[in-house]
Amino acid sequence: MSYYALTPDTLRDYLAQDEALASRLGGTADTWHIREVSDGNLNLVFIVTGHLGAVCCKQALPHVRVAPTWPMPLERALFEARYMQRIAQAKTPHAVELYAFDNAMYLLVMEALLPHQVLRSQLIANKDIACFSAPIARYISHTAHASSWHTQRFETGSQILEEFSGNTALTRITVDLILSDPFRQSERNPTPEAELLPVIHAMQDDADLLRAVTHLQTRFLSARQALLHGDLHTGSIMLHDGDIRVIDGEFALMGPIGFDCGLYIANLILHACAAPSKADFIRNEIQIFWDTFTEEMQRLFDRPQGDAAQLLPEHEDKAFVSAFLQEIFQDTVGFCGLEIIRRTIGFAQIADYDLCETPEARLAARQAALSIGKALVLQHQHIASIAEILAIFSTD
């Protein structure tokens, strides 16, 4: 079968012809309820509900969904499927189960999260949620542990590298949109508020900042520490009550663990910039995130068992983990700063800024974000603790 972009009607026919998926849904195809829930930049997503169960169907389009003239290879669906298969081995309760992958249709059929909602939307709607950051910290540490050179034979790491090294189209998006465009003239950068132009131009001329960005570009491309999610913002997390899940792993690649941590923390900080009255709540989440991450990493990497670091005598294991965590922390700080900047002036901005009720409030929120982002990028190799990040980020 050759590729065609699905509609609710053709998806119904498609699922009806697949015995295993049809029996998961139950009843006859005409009784299934199908709704499109696409809200990301790239793909089509449908939720299909029958009287026995539900599935989520995610299909790649040959272009960026929100920018049809921007072509995008369909193969990204393959990397998302591989990511889900790899993460299943990490046995984290925060993953999503993949039921089927159709490599001709570039279609993933997965567990439907119902009635879960995206974390970013819940934050924007000011829903009564808290402590969602500990599960995310555990998710990152468990998936890092399952793919690290310190816990696996190097042959396994090489296999993972190979599985994801072809994910170049989406890595290109990261390299351009996060690691480059905000710091240069680019047609992809939207026109900013006039008041931001001097700040943006000053950043683009700041030699120290450009050196720090270049260092982080190199870290991203060369520090192949573990399998990353690669797009771990608050729109890639869904939750309902205590059940917290990570979706949308199409950007997966081997990279610096601090990239996932940094993106997550950045999106919390961005939310606080847009909603300054929530700064204390957000600070608390960031603290919980880093405390949990540190504890889990110390526990999981307690005794290095891979081909790397196993020569160390036991009394040096603690110092080894501390140094590893310090390196991850510096990357976290830097990538956090880059994500804050790109979500404020780059191509893919965030809905959180719509919380600002006046143009003045929105401008102030963006100015605050840029100044935090810039400080984190510039200082990423010198900031020593999460408390220092929380101090830089005092928006009130």
Report the residue from 15, 112, 232, 270 that binds ligand ADP according to the rule CB under 6 A.
Answer: 112
* Using rule CB under 6 A, residue 170 touches ligand ADP: no
CB of 392 to Mg ion, least distance (A): 28
**Stretch binding ligand ADP (CB under 6 A), from 41-49, 99-107, 254-262, 277-285:** 41-49
**Smallest Cα–Cα separation from 290: which of 384, 372, 365, 370?**
384
**Smallest Cα–Cα separation from 286: which of 303, 301, 298, 268?**
268
243-246 vs 237-240, strand pairing mode = antiparallel
CA angle centred on 341, ends 338 and 346, rounded to 5°: 110
Report the residue from 15, 34, 40, 200 that binds Mg ion according to the rule CB under 5 A.
Answer: 40
Cβ closest to ligand ADP, residue 69 vs residue 191: 69
Q: CA of 138: how far to CAs of 89, 142, 373, in Å?
A: 15, 6, 25
**Smallest Cα–Cα separation from 101: which of 116, 120, 80?**
80
* Using rule CB under 6 A, residue 45 touches ligand ADP: yes
* Using rule CB under 6 A, residue 107 touches ligand ADP: no
Residue 58 interacts, among ligand ADP, Mg ion, none and using kind-specific CB cut-offs from 5 to 8 Å, with ligand ADP
Restricted to residues 314-353, the positions that interact with ligand ADP (CB under 6 A) are none
User: Coil, strand or helix: which one is 56?
Assistant: strand
Residue 118 interacts, among ligand ADP, Mg ion, none and using kind-specific CB cut-offs from 5 to 8 Å, with ligand ADP
107-111 vs 98-102, strand pairing mode = antiparallel
Cβ closest to ligand ADP, residue 72 vs residue 369: 72
> Binding mask 287-316 vs Mg ion (x if CB under 5 A, - otherwise)?
-------------------------x----
Adjacency order of strands within the sheet including 54-59: 33-36, 44-49, 54-59, 107-111, 98-102
Residue 38 interacts, among ligand ADP, Mg ion, none and using kind-specific CB cut-offs from 5 to 8 Å, with ligand ADP
**Stretch binding Mg ion (CB under 5 A), from 34-42, 58-66, 100-108, 125-133:** 34-42
Contact between residue 233 and residue 259 where contact means Cβ atoms under 8 Å apart: no
CB of 12 to ligand ADP, least distance (A): 18
Cβ closest to ligand ADP, residue 80 vs residue 331: 80
CB of 50 to ligand ADP, least distance (A): 15
Count the alpha carbons within 13 Å of 120 in the hemisphere toward its beta carbon: 24
User: Coil, strand or helix: which one is 68?
Assistant: strand
For Mg ion, the binding residues (CB under 5 A) are 40, 42, 248, 250, 312
